[in-house]
């Protein structure tokens, strides 16, 4: 039986490119499993269902090697689990050298496939590390230019600022300040403290 697995990291990303590649290869859509979840672990609902279905002699088709995991160790461990423990074959469409059907019967074939897997897994992890480094550099450069991250700072009205000033100078009692600001005491103290820190 031939199965395929597609994954994107977030809900707003699109699976179309991977699904079209599986259609072109001839994988029946009912045998295609998809997840919209990060690859930080293998707790992906549809992936786990797929792995339970895999049997020796089955073929798992993926578009690229990093669909199996996010780093070198995860990818190589999962590859080993599928090909050695379960006994299924794997085909990576973006890298035809990674096709265990073609080379499983010879020692040289296994050796070449293992080397290519190790190199590609390293490249996938290295690219993720580079992306993280570029993101960190971009954030640092933006902060240097004065870009603020996180929630925007609350802007208080002149009226609220006046109420707080009158309350702190004891011109207003707490109940008068609460009535004037239409707040509970907890809310009033919270915003007063934030205002005084600004």
Catalytic center residues = 9
Q: Which residues 6+ apart lie within 8 Å of 131 measured at CB?
A: none
**Is residue 7 a contact partner of residue 37, using CB atoms and an 8 Å limit?**
yes
DSSP codes of every residue in 103-154: HTTSHHHHHHHHHHHHHHHHHHHHHHHHHHHHHHHHHHHHHHTT---SSPPP
Residues sharing a CB contact under 8 Å with residue 41, sequence separation 6 or more, in sequence order = none
Distance CA 92, CA 76 (A): 14
């Amino acid at each position: 039986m031939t199965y395929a697995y597609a994954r994107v990291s977030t809900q707003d990303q699109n699976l179309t490119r991977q699904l079209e590649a599986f259609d072109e290869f001839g994988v029946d859509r009912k045998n295609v499993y998809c997840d919209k979840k990060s690859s930080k672990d293998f707790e992906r609902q549809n992936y786990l269902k797929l792995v339970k279905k895999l049997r020796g002699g089955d073929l798992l088709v993926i578009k690229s090697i990093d669909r199996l995991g996010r780093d070198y160790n995860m990818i190589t461990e999962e590859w080993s689990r599928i090909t050695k423990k379960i006994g299924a074959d794997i085909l990576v469409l973006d890298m035809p050298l990674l096709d265990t059907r073609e080379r499983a019967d010879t020692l040289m074939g296994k050796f070449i496939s293992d080397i290519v897997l190790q190199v590609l897994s390293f490249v996938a992890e290295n690219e993720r590390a580079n992306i993280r480094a570029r993101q960190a550099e971009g954030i640092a450069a933006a902060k240097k230019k004065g870009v603020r991250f996180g929630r925007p700072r609350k802007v208080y009205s002149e009226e609220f600022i006046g109420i707080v000033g009158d309350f702190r100078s004891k011109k207003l009692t707490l109940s008068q300040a609460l009535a004037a600001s239409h707040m509970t005491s907890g809310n009033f103290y919270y915003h007063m403290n934030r205002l005084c820190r600004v």
